Amino acid sequence: MKLNQIKGILCDLDGVLYNDSIVIDGVIATIKSLKSKGYQFLFVTNTSGVTSKELYHKLIALGIPVGENEILSPPLAALNYTIAQGYKEIEVLAGSSIKALFKDNFIINTTTPEAIIISDIGKNWDYQLINNLFLKVLNGSKIIGLHKGKFWKASEGLRIDIGAFIKGIEFATNTEATCIGKPNKSFYESAIEKINLPSHQLLMIGDDIIGDIQGAKAANLTAIQVKTGKYRKELTDKADVKPDFLIENFNHLPSLLY
C-alpha cells in the first residue's frame, strides 16, 4: 500500500534528520527529492533553546533545504500563549535569544513571577535551581514549559530533558504545568493551519513515540516513526498508541509514498 493521498510532510528534526548536529547520511538528498516531487514540508520541532530564526540558520548551515517559513517551534507559540493569559510579570529560564523574545513583552520578576517560562537550558539544571522553582510554584507561580520531553539524543548519548524536571516540580507541588510543544494538541493544530492542508493529506514523521507519534495520532495524522535518534523498541512496543509505519530511517520515507 502506498500513501498516495499524502501531500504534506510534518517533519521532526532532532533524531530524524540529525543527531545533535550531525546530519544523518542521505537525508538532505531525500528532502530535495521529496520537495522536487511537490511534497510540502513543515519542520515541526520541540527545539526550544533557540528562536525559529536561529534554528533556520542552523539548518541552512547543516545543508538542509528549508525555507524560513517552514519551521514551527515552541518559543513563539509560548510567547503568544503567555500574552493571551494576561500575565504581566514573568521569569524566563532560557538562553539569551529566547529571553530577549519575552523581555519586550513582560516585566521580568525572578522573586514572585506570575509565570515561569522553562526552555532548554542544557546542563544548567542543579538542585538550587529546582528547589527555587519548587518554592516559587508553592507561592503561586505557574510553570509554562516549552515542551515536556523526557530525554533526547545528544552526540554522546541520551540526555535527560526538561520534561523530567517539570514533572518533578508538578509532583512536589501538586500542580500542573502548561506545556506548549509536541504532543500538545494545540501545537499540532497550529502546524496543520500553517501548512494549510487537510489532516488526511498529512503525515508526521518523528523518532519520539509520545511527542511525534501519539501527538500525530491524536491530531488524526498518519504517523511514521523512524528507528534513529531516541527510538527505543521497548518504548514503542509498550506504547498505547502505535505508529502507522515504523521505518529504519528518514531515507525510507519515499518508498512509502510513491
- Binding residues for Mg ion, per CB under 5 A? 12, 14-15, 207
Q: Residue 19 or residue 51: which is nearer to Mg ion going by CB?
A: 19
Q: What Å distances lie between residue 202 and 10, 18, 35, 67, CA to CA?
A: 7, 22, 14, 19
Residue 135 beta carbon to Mg ion: minimum distance, rounded to whole angstroms = 33
Q: Which helix (H) or strand (E) holds 42?
A: strand 40-44
**CB-closest chain residue to Mg ion:** 15
Q: Which helix (H) or strand (E) holds 204?
A: strand 202-206
Residue 106 beta carbon to Mg ion: minimum distance, rounded to whole angstroms = 30
What does the alpha-carbon distance between residue 216 and residue 222 come to, in Å, rounded to a whole number?
A: 7
Coil/strand/helix, residue 152: strand
Residue 161 beta carbon to Mg ion: minimum distance, rounded to whole angstroms = 11
Q: Residue 107 or residue 235: which is nearer to Mg ion going by CB?
A: 235
Residue 55 beta carbon to Mg ion: minimum distance, rounded to whole angstroms = 13
What does the alpha-carbon distance between residue 179 and residue 189 come to, in Å, rounded to a whole number?
A: 15
Q: Residue 11 or residue 90: which is nearer to Mg ion going by CB?
A: 11
* Packed helices 74-84 and 185-195: angle between N→C axes, nearest 10 degrees: 110
Q: Residue 109 or residue 236: which is nearer to Mg ion going by CB?
A: 236
Residue 209 DSSP class = I
Q: Residue 173 or residue 228: which is nearer to Mg ion going by CB?
A: 228
Residue 45 beta carbon to Mg ion: minimum distance, rounded to whole angstroms = 7
Q: For 56-120, give the DSSP string.
A: HHHHHHHT----TTSEE-HHHHHHHHHHHTT--EEEEES-HHHHHHHHTTSEE-SSS-SEEEE--
Residue 212 beta carbon to Mg ion: minimum distance, rounded to whole angstroms = 6
Q: What Å distances lie between residue 131 and 135, 148, 181, 225, 246, CA to CA?
A: 6, 19, 24, 36, 40
Q: Residue 12 or residue 161: which is nearer to Mg ion going by CB?
A: 12
